[in-house]
Structure 1
């Protein structure tokens, strides 16, 4: 049985701290929600609500608002919400909010902002307290200068796949100019970028632990050898990538996934990746060889599929589970060649 509306009795729950309405059938939040003065967490994800009531601005103790995937939500955020100075998490992922009001910079406690929309307007200046920023759009908005977000650890900028087709030569950039691209905060530990025409300069991101790049047209990545702390690298759908500079020097790397890199023929020797736990090489149709895996004693799992140009399967430690669609080469059989000269002797 699904809940279709909030009972009036909730108004009297003056000590209520968390209200979780996710996946319910409610289509509106009553104004008395503003009377829940001790409420800290409100979750209305995957509901049919049309608006966020102005009265919610009176709940000054609110720390988390999850309105993700509310597909009927109107295209606005009430200005009254900007009095929520204790708000730490604002999740609008998958909801049709196309405009982030300029007053969001006044959210002095905001740490996580997730927003996704078909037509996302340029983002205003963001609060310096942000630690996690996720921006998803059918067409990228212009991002503000992010260099002032000195606490930002997680940055994800991607085009939502189900919103629009990926047409490589019509991809727009989320950055205003080249200078803006290279002004990422040095505090980043996770960087995930999807469907952008030009990569930011990442060699200075010494704190980076996770790097994921997909649907990119660049033929070569920046030198990765300076990312000494990098533990996870995922490269997916690089139709023109021919080289991954510095890959063989990433000694802290634990997870390496290279998928649908159609023209790359050779990887650097991977023998220095002593901490590597999992390796996936999928749909790299021109890849000829993978060297150095035999020395990786911590390698638990390796998956190699649809790499039809691979000359032979790589040698791996005996403890490594190897999954592949390629049959190992069979040793050549000893066959007798047609004789050109024959000499028989009888004792």
Structure 2
């Protein structure tokens, strides 16, 4: 059943008498009443909604409450609450209001809803959408630990810094260290990473190292720099950076490979150069060339194309050295320009 054009006009003008008459005379008045209420909520015609709510089935009242909550129609929600069951459908109205960031509606619904329903779905939705004021309201009534602290994970993924600040102290530090922090690093959520570096995450050095590897493999240069500084203050774990430089080199993240090459040791640079050449990452291979043992690298490459690329890089390096040597030989000593006779 669809709402007629005349009825839509009556909704727009909020002609309650005409609407009520049409609905009552309909063969399926309950269904038409719901469709009119649905359109009236979207049009924010509160008088029409109030007039037709008594005609709705209990099921449709739940949906009407949820839709009004999502639209932020506080007066309508207030009048619908006594006529329906706000806890129905896993407190759907509260979840809809939280997702839309309707703080005043959330405040109204909290006492009559179950914020813990569906694994604290309202908190999750508000966190995912970055509604910090709503999250602050929901935290005391919800379980931020539920489903591996998914509210914090979603806020971190979205880069919602204010929400992350609220959830960090009340979420699982273990999950944050092993899952959420690395994921934020991999997504390049720089501000979130900065915040989490200040938090007291367990086993900090190894926690940072795991996030560092993931950030490097995703080419997140700024995050790599941030975490590298934090790890250097704590002390690098054994073999730190070896996986990161290999992944970065293989995927052509030249800046990251160049940053790590001077500090990870020749063995790691050998492997990284093998990865760069093997994946035809010429520019990245070029920055690794002088940090690796070419004989060892060549022994690990079997394709003629890979050997040819390595030979080209060696030729380029030799030519560059020759140019630099020639420039040094032809440079004039300091002060010699004044002794050149003028013609």
TM bin (shorter chain): 0.3 to 0.5
The structure richer in strand per residue is: 1
The TM-score, its normalising length taken from structure 1, stands at 0.42
TM-score by length of 2: 0.42
Higher fraction of helix: 2
Structure with higher Rg: it is 2
